[in-house]
Each structure stands twice: as structure tokens, then as C-alpha cells.
Amino acid sequence: MTEVAMTAAAQPQAATDQRRVAPKGSGLEVAFEYVCFAAATLLLAALGGVLVSLLIGGWPAFAHFGVSFFTSSTWDPVNDEFGVAGPIVGTVVTSLLALLLAVPTAFGVAFFLVELCPGPLKRPIGTAVELLAGIPSIVYGMWGLFVFAPVFSKFVQLPLMTAAPPGSIWEKFTQGVPNGTGILAASIILAVMVLPFIAATMRELLNTVPAQVRESAYGLGATTGEVVMKVTLPYVRRGVIGAIMLGLGRALGETMAVTFIIGNSHGFPKSLFDAGSTIASTIANEFAEAAPGLHTASLIASGLVLFIITFIVLALARMMLGRQRSV
Amino acid sequence: MLKKIAAGVAALAVGAGAAIAVAANLSGAGATFPAPVYAKWAEAYRAQTGNQLGGQAIGSGGGIRQINANTVDFGASDKPLKPDDLATNGLIQFPTVIGGVVPVVNIPGVAPGALKLTGPIVSDIFRGIIVYWDDPHITALNPGVSLPHLKITVVHRSDGSGTTFLFTTYLSMKARNWAAGPGGNDSVNWPTGIGGKGNDGVAAFVRQTPGAIGYVEYAYAKQNHMTFTLLQNKAGKFVQPLAANFAAAAAGANWAKAPGFYLLLLDQPAPDAWPITGATFILVHTKQANAQTGHDVLAFFDWAYKNGDAAAQGLDYVTFPESVKNLVRQAWRKVVGPDGKPVYS
């Protein structure tokens, strides 16, 4: 702060003298720049280090299994045969389902808080959303397994399964064991976990919409719904995509909560109620006891796969943002 | 859960240890199954001697990795290492306490200890061959029990664990199909069923799913009053999972003839032996770079052998008879310092 103030004060003086005078405290300025530079490169170095060590650790698995590592869903630690197709599908499906559930709800929460909420309710609801974001994921997992699963089984799974007409697609999607776990249950828990992130970010974004813009829309006779859909939402569109991607990033990498409730079976999930697994849950389950060799290498390699999936998601988000910027 | 207890004890030990500067400071890592009893021993040992012992319950695989990498003074494993592996890595191993694995079920109307099962039937259930509880194979064994026409849901551990190692190795011994298929390991390619994380995960799935069968550690099943089953042992008797029956399995074993204490207590011939019994092990380097550290580690376990039985039994572990402990003490002479002399005798 002081450096900035000094530089600013020194500039008019330099202008009047018509000579380049080194501003007072420029030594500190240089040191400050170096510290910032070091912090930024440290981050990059850490990222590179993680990537390189994942590559080295996972290389035996890639070299041994080749393409079948990505296409096979066999996970057999006894015979040292590993393929991560099942966990990849599980990761992508649960994350997308979670977003499908969380995004509309988050929209609702954020718009309610900004546009509709009566004054005295604003703070309690806002704080509740922030508190929800601070709960550790293992608590969500335990809650999911011991509280949510029995309720989900009794009031969602069983009715849906018994109501399904035999032979229909509906029956296909709802087959499995009605014990409250599986792909859909994990997706719902994930949705609850990413909801506060998306909702809180969206609320902040909506608050940045200038009051004049909104009020002129109302002045033209627009209804609340029209203002939201045609004025405020387009105004913050880019930021909203960023918020959703943030949520997706968290859903992809979530470990403990998913491990508790997804059922942990390595094959392809066949229905919404079937047990599955994600890359993160597989690593959490098996790394501690994995034998050195192909088992450990395969787990590290699957970590690299998750890294790449997350990278692709972020890159896609960037592309979408970039395209909108040019429009 | 176990990890948290161990970490909590370790934190306490560190906090209190700061005052006693002369005390030894030992570290270990490994199996989660014996972690509660090691933590309890460490606490009592510190109170008596001032020596502190830090343990990380990170799993047997992690314990083996860390002792090989020399980052800890001893490793802990639920799975014994083969004598060859011990020799290559310059380690000795010795057993500390015994536990067992118990099948647990959730069948409406079936009380704890009412259902009789055999190894081959359990194997067929876990392979997905027997799919209903009123299967003729099961009803023939259980004439007095009314079994519903209910689908069986198999629940197994999702995390690699010594419990799974004992359970699947037992199934491999009893059923050729299992040995050829999934095999015995800390984690296997399960033909069917869902995976719960840890004993509590398996227990929760079993409780919430009518028709479920799973397997948990004995102490866990006992403390949570789960519906256990009887199992047929090698002598042909259907036995209950009781501390006395684990001890029977351990007593019948001939540790003197097991090189490197590589011994599985599965399917022992003693008339009362519980068939899925296993010991948990400590790994120590035979060549200690620091003779004092080696001495301190062995002194701790010697103290635990002498004074720790009551604490272990209180936590539902089974302890070894004096004869086996003396065999272990003899084996400790192989642990030498840089000068080639035994570090503890």
C-alpha cells in the first residue's frame, strides 16, 4: 500500500522536473514483484510436478495395458488386470446428473435471494447457503449413508421400482437393489454439495447487475420473470457458466461422500439405482492397501485420467467464455 | 474411525511427551484392524515409562511400503509376508493379537446364531450362484429355520483390507471355484454385490437391506450386536464366533514350524476352531541402523506381551499363549544393530 502511494506521489514531481527520477522505495517495489512472480511460478511448478509424478507413477499401467486401460471395465487386483472404463463412466454420469439437479435449484435460490426475498429473510437464507458450503464432505457421506439412504430407499426407490411397467425403459433405469445407494443417490448427494457453491457465486453475480438496468426494464413494464430471463441473466451469463464449471470441478473430484453411497462396484452401471464407482472413490478405497506394482500404478494412472478429465472440462469452459467474449 | 482414535492418541502422546525430554520416540504405520489396541498399549506404556509411540493407521499396504522405505521404526500388517519377501526386504515379522471375520446377515425372522452356513455355500452366495435365501442348499442345512423367498444382496468391503484378505483366502481354501475366480487378496474382483467403506459401511448396508449378507471383524459384529451366522469348521462342527473359538484356532496352530511366523489361522482342525481366524503382524528391520531404536521398539512389544493382554481382551481381541510369545522373543535375537549384536535380549 505504502509503495503504491509513494509511486503515485512521486510521479507529478518527475513530470515537473522533466527528468526520470527513480521513485522512492523502488527497491521494495522490485522485491514485491519478485515475490508475486515466485508465488505464481510456484503454483505452476506444483501443477507440473503433480502431472509429471502422476505420469511417472502411472506409466507402468499405461505401458502394460495400452488402450484397454481406458476401455476395459475389469478391475481384478488378484490377477493384476485393470481398466478404468467403469469409474470414468461413473465419474462423468454422477457429476452431470448432480449438475442437472443442482443448477436449476441454485438458479432458484440465487434469484429468490436477489429479486424476491423479503428483507428480513435475506440474511438467514444467505447464511444457510454459505454454511452448507462449509460442511466437510465426510459428513455428507455419513449423512448420506445413515440418514438419506434409508429415506431414499423407502420413498423413492421402492415406489419407482414397483410402479415401473415390466419391459419398459423405465424398468431398465430403475432396476437394482432398493437399499438407498447407487448412481442416483450419489448424484443427489453431490448435487447438495455443489449447490451452495453455485448458488453463492450466482447471488454475487446477480448483485453486480446495475440497479438502473433492472429498474429500466421494470419501468418498461416487464414482469419479474421477464426481467430475470431477458435482462439480468444475459448480463451475468459468462460468470454463471464459470460458477457451474466450478461446481462441476468439485463434483468430479469429490471423494469421501461418493465412496460412502455409490455402492463401489467397478463395472459399468446399468441403471440409476445400480452400484457404480468414480475415479476418486476407487483411489480412496484402494490406495492404502494396494500392493506395489501394477495395482498402485493403475490407481495413479487413474488419477492422471481424472486430472485430464478436469482439464478438458476447464478448457471447454474457457472456450465457451472466449466465444461469448468475442460476440 | 480407527484412524481418528490413533491420531488422537498420537497427538496426546506428542503433547505430553514434550515435557519428558529423555524419552524415546518411536513411530509406526500400518494396519487399521489392530490400531485401537496399539493405541491403548501406547498410552499405557507412555504413562508407565515416558516412552512415546506414534502410530498412523494407514492400512497394511501402506505399513509395508513405509517400513521398506525406512520412514518408520516398525510396520504393521494384517497379512503376513511370505518368508521370501521378508528375506529380500531384510525384515522379520511377529504376530501380536488375533481377530476373526464373521458373516453377518439381515433376514427377517432370523436371530443371531440361528443360521448355519458352510464355506462352499458362502462362496456360492458371494459368486452370485445362490441368489435366494430359500435355496435348497441353505434350507437343507437349516431345517428348523424358516427362510423367506428373498433375494440375497451381497455386501463386501470396498476398501482394500486385511478383513477381506482373510475372508477371500478362506473362500479360496474351501471352494475351488472361488480360488479359480476371484481368489484371495485384500481386494478382489467381486462377481456380484455392493461395496461398503470400512466395517461401518458394510454394517450399514447390511442393516438397511433386507436379504443382505456381509462380513465384518468380530469385535465390530459383537459391539454392534449384529446377526452373525454359524460356520462349519474343518472338524465338521458348526461353531459360533466367540473369543474362545478364535483362541482354539490359534492354539492348534504350530508356530514353531512356521518360518518367519508365516501362518494363516484359517480353517484350523481344532474341534472348536472358528474357521476365519487370523493374526495381525508387526514388521521390523533385521539390521537396525540405530541399535537404541531397535531396542526401544522390541522393548515396547515385550512390555505389551507382558502387560497388554487385559487391554486387548477388553477391546475383543484374542491374545497369544505364553508359548507363542516366547517363540517370538527368541526370534527377536535376529534383530541386530550396526555392530552385529542383538539389540534386545
| Tens-place pLDDT, residues B305-317 | 999 999 998 888 8
Q: Would an 8 Å CB–CB cutoff place B205 in contact with chain A? A: yes
pLDDT at residue A7, as a whole number: 47
CB-closest option in B195, B208, B212 to A180 = B208
DSSP A290: P
Measured CA to CA, the distance from residue B49 to residue A234 in angstroms comes to 71
A276, three cell numbers: 457404480
Residues 6+ apart with CB under 8 A from B315: B36, B37, B40, B219
A241, three cell numbers: 457458466
Strand order in the sheet with B238-239: B116-117, B230-232, B238-239
Q: What ipTM was estimated for this complex?
A: 0.71
Best probe of the B interface among A177, A289, A298, by most B CBs < 10 A, is A289
Which amino acid is residue B198, in one-letter code?
A: G
pLDDT at residue B23, as a whole number: 60
- CATH code of domain A45-326: 1.10.3720.10
CB-closest option in A153, A180, A289 to B61 = A289
CB-closest option in A266, A289, A292 to B60 = A289
Q: B159 and A181: CB-CB below 8 Å?
A: no
DSSP A295: H
Residues 6+ apart with CB under 8 A from A291: A77, B61, B186
pTM of the predicted protein model: 0.78
pLDDT at residue A52, as a whole number: 95
B127, three cell numbers: 459368486
User: Closest Cα to residue A74, out of B188, B331, B225, B327?
Assistant: B188
pLDDT at residue A10, as a whole number: 47
Q: By the 8 A CB rule, do A214 and A114 touch? A: no
Q: By the 8 A CB rule, do A252 and A87 touch? A: no
Task: Give domain limits for chain A.
Answer: 45-326
> How far is the alpha carbon of A298 from chain B, nearest alpha carbon, in Å?
14
User: Closest Cα to residue B166, out of B117, B122, B106, B124?
Assistant: B122
> How far is the alpha carbon of A155 from chain B, nearest alpha carbon, in Å?
14
Q: B187 and A284: CB-CB below 8 Å?
A: no
Which range has the top average pLDDT, A207-216, A268-277, B110-119?
A: B110-119
> How far is the alpha carbon of A149 from chain B, nearest alpha carbon, in Å?
8
Instruction: Collect the ranges in chain B with pLDDT lower than 50.
Output: 1-22
Residue with cell 509395508: B64
Question: How many CB pairs (< 8 A) connect A and B?
Answer: 91
Q: B195 and A149: CB-CB below 8 Å?
A: no
Q: Environment class of residue B320 by beta-carbon count within 10 Å: exposed (0-12), middle (13-18) or buried (19+)? A: buried
A81, three cell numbers: 488386470
Beta-ladder partners of B287: B336
pLDDT at residue A130, as a whole number: 85
Q: By the 8 A CB rule, do A166 and A95 touch? A: no
Measured CA to CA, the distance from residue B163 to residue A296 in angstroms comes to 20
Q: Each residue of A87-141: pLDDT tens digit?
A: 999 999 999 999 999 999 998 988 888 888 788 888 888 888 888 888 888 899 9
Best probe of the A interface among B159, B206, B207, by most A CBs < 10 A, is B159
Q: A77 and B188: CB-CB below 8 Å?
A: yes
Residue B29: how many other CB atoms lie within 10 Å: 24
Measured CA to CA, the distance from residue B224 to residue A168 in angstroms comes to 42
Measured CA to CA, the distance from residue A239 to residue A230 in angstroms comes to 16
Of the pLDDT bands very low, low, confident and very high (cuts 50, 70, 90), residue A323 is low
Mean pLDDT of chain A: 85
Best probe of the A interface among B2, B172, B208, by most A CBs < 10 A, is B208
Q: A288 and B189: CB-CB below 8 Å?
A: no
Phi and psi (nearest 5°) for A211?
-60, -35
Q: Would an 8 Å CB–CB cutoff place A299 in contact with chain B? A: no
CB contacts of A288 in chain B (<8 Å) are 58-59, 61-62, 159-160
Residue A172 has pLDDT above 90, yes or no: no
> How far is the alpha carbon of A281 from chain B, nearest alpha carbon, in Å?
9
Measured CA to CA, the distance from residue B236 to residue A177 in angstroms comes to 35
Measured CA to CA, the distance from residue A284 to residue A307 in angstroms comes to 15
Return the higher-pLDDT residue of A174 and B229.
Answer: B229
Residue A175 has pLDDT above 70, yes or no: yes
Q: How far is CA B202 from the centre of its chain?
A: 16
B282, three cell numbers: 508387526
Q: Each residue of A273-310: pLDDT tens digit?
A: 888 899 999 998 888 778 778 889 999 999 999 999 99
CB contacts of B183 in chain A (<8 Å) are 78-79
Residue A9 has pLDDT above 80, yes or no: no
pLDDT at residue B168, as a whole number: 94
Residue B14: how many other CB atoms lie within 10 Å: 12
CB contacts of B186 in chain A (<8 Å) are 77, 289, 291
pLDDT at residue A17, as a whole number: 53
Residue A168 has pLDDT above 90, yes or no: no
Task: For chain A, positions 167-226, list CB contacts with chain B under 8 A.
Answer: 177, 179-181
